[in-house]
Amino acid sequence: MSYIVNDPDDFAAESTLGFIAAHRGLVRRVNGGVARASATPAGEVAVVIGGGSGHYPAFAGLVGPGLAHAAAMGNVFASPSAQQIYSVARSVATEAGVLFSYGNYAGDALNFDQAQERLRAEGIPTATVRVTDDIYSASLADRAKRRGIAGDLAVFRAAAWASAQGMGLAEVEALAARANERTRSVGVAFSGCTLPGATAPLFTVPDGMMAVGMGIHGEPGIDVVPLPSAGEIADLLVTRLLEERPDDLGDGASARVGVIVNGLGSVKSEELFLLYHSVAGLITQAGLEIVDPEVGEYATSFEMAGVSLTLIWLDDVLEQAWSSPAYAPAYRKGVVDLADRIADENAAEGETAEDDAIQPAATVDAQRAGKDVARALSAIRAMIDREVDELGRLDAIAGDGDHGIGMQRGVRAADAAAQAAADSDAGPGTVLARAGDAWADKAGGTSGALWGLGLRAAAKVLGDATAPDGRTASEAVAAARDAVQTSGKAQIGDKTMVDALVPFAETLAERIAGGDDLATAWEAAAAVSMKAARATADLLPRMGRARPHMEKSLGTPDPGAVSLALAMAAGASAWNDGTTEEKR
Ligand code: ADP
Ligand code: MG
């Protein structure tokens, strides 16, 4: 648990402010995260990393010469939003472009990809290397689906070194990808962690046991075994890593490896050294030569007890990168010449200007419809506030447990933005678009990005000219469904929110076509959606974070499908709210 906290909602933001104050001169605050204090030299590719907060020194502590140019920082255990990533990248980008690198998690991928599209549309070249070092998170055949853990460091170092050599974007990308291909990690956990302000742990490991392969957000591992001795743990980790030795190393007598022993949070340095002692012996016995070992904390999860071991199978170029100097808040090596750093003129950059002023809708009807939309969002917010723990519980069974808090952050921000827009007499399109932007910006996670996209797509159909009739409302829902499916690529049966959204959209369209008014049609569609959401309990997931642990989710409905159906049910109560009825 966290002992030092004000309002838990502000934990990540307040901690970031303190971090920046403690490292002023090295890093500066930018919208959405932190950047090096000095401007990116002209012609240098900017390496932008990022992810959820709660993993220090990933990611803010790894910003500085020899490491990243900037880090986008999401809320606790939640991906940064596309908007955050975009602003962070903009603040350090040069004409040479931006390399994004981050651990492979569905929410991060979705948000970074959106930011990448926006940058490209503005003519800033970008490329992406997702880190997939965690061997236990998927099979070798499915390497691209593996998650990223402490091996991030090796990939970031390669990218940063290449960019500092003046390489172009394609070369920086290629070297980072090569580092990723040759970096493998395995981890074990002895306890879970409790998020700031929470009263119960997000996940746990039974007393006296060790979870083999458990992820840094508590994603279930492959096995739970009685806690072995340090020597046995070292043996397990090294043996598993040596099974995945890259093929192109020849007889291996001369193979050289970088090594990272990473503590997850509450394993002490002395324990890590003890483990390294055994690990180093085993690696050397296997005929490998260790280069610049790292023993400490590189990717953590609050007070989670656990360790991971990473091997980086070096070649000449990767070795240069791995051994090169660096000077970041949480990672220092060799001697970096800091004298020629140019302070960034934008260093004092504050938050961007508030949203531009809202134009009131032209007609009274449209203004009233804007208020209806805002009321629906308030009803959804109240529903999510009630269900937040249950949604977290559902997500913790096979996912990472953040669905409740992510939805809550998203819907609270969306509700506030919608009320503000409705108070300014905005039409329904503007109210919903503001809500969608706020949702995506604050929620984080896969579902947050998809909700943001869906609401914005629906908003476009609604527009601000008139109050939508039933048909327009149903077309707006269809547009949201299309947006969610186009970006998330999930089909019916993949055990995602799509399983609740598609039947909702279909039933709504059918009922409206059959002559029902919006309130009646909506309620019927919400009931069908809820049934479909419950029925996802029988499905095996094929998308998103839950995928590597398919069987664990059997018997439990998909959290994103349940929250969507609950939201639609809450929305129905808003349309039914007397005042609305007579206008339809
Ligand atoms: P994260 O998976 O990033 O932790 P959340 O926990 O907030 O995000 O949301 C998880 C939910 O997101 C899942 O239950 C599922 O309904 C939905 N989801 C995940 N991936 C997809 C996808 N590709 N398309 C549609 N919905 C998805
Ligand atoms: Mg989740």
pTM to 2 decimals?
0.79
341 has a pLDDT exceeding 90: no
C-alpha to C-alpha distances, 36 to 1, 27, 41, 244, nearest whole angstrom: 31, 4, 11, 36
- Bridge partners (DSSP) listed for residue 131: 103
User: Is any atom of ligand 1 closer than 6 Å to the C-beta of 397?
Assistant: no
- Asked if residues 170 and 247 have their Cβ atoms less than 8 Å apart, the reply is no
Annotation says 277 is catalytic: no
Tens of pLDDT, residues 168-219: 999 999 999 999 999 999 999 999 999 999 888 988 999 999 999 999 998 8
Nearest CA, atom 13, ligand 1: 560
Nearest CA, atom 24, ligand 1: 488
Ligand 1, closest atom to CA 498?
25
Q: What is the pLDDT of residue 553?
A: 82
State the pLDDT confidence band at 112, using cuts at 50, 70 and 90.
very high
Ligand 1, closest atom to CA 406?
7
Could you say which of 23, 55, 69, 217 is catalytic?
A: 217
Which CATH code, of 1.20.1050.10, 3.40.50.300, 3.30.70.580, 1.25.40.340, is assigned to 364-583? 1.25.40.340
Dist. CA 88 → ligand 2 center (Å):
24
Nearest CA, atom 23, ligand 1: 488
Ramachandran angles phi, psi of 303, nearest 5°: -95, 15
Half-sphere exposure of 546 (CA within 13 A, CB side): 30
- Asked if residues 221 and 189 have their Cβ atoms less than 8 Å apart, the reply is yes
Q: What is the pLDDT of residue 338?
A: 74
Q: What is the pLDDT of residue 347?
A: 53
342 has a pLDDT exceeding 80: no
Ligand minimally distant from the alpha carbon of residue 404: 1
Ligand 1, closest atom to CA 497?
16
Ligand 1, closest atom to CA 496?
16
Contacts with 216 (C-beta within 8 Å, 6 or more apart), sequence order: 55, 149, 187, 264, 299, 300, 301, 304
Tens of pLDDT, residues 373-429: 999 999 999 999 999 999 999 998 878 888 999 999 999 999 999 999 999 999 999
Mean pLDDT taken over the chain: 92
Q: Which residue has the higher pLDDT, 577 or 519?
A: 519
Q: What is the mean pLDDT of residues 17-39?
A: 94
> For the chain, what are the domain ranges?
8-331, 364-583
Q: What is the pLDDT of residue 88?
A: 97
Ligand minimally distant from the alpha carbon of residue 448: 1
Dist. CA 312 → ligand 1 center (Å):
31
Tens of pLDDT, residues 538-562: 998 876 555 555 677 889 999 999 9
Ligand minimally distant from the alpha carbon of residue 480: 1
Q: What is the pLDDT of residue 254?
A: 65
Tens of pLDDT, residues 490-546: 999 999 999 999 999 999 999 999 999 999 999 999 999 999 999 999 998 876 555
CA distance 488 to 483: 8
The CATH code of the domain at 8-331 is 3.40.50.10440
User: Is any atom of ligand 1 closer than 6 Å to the C-beta of 485?
Assistant: no
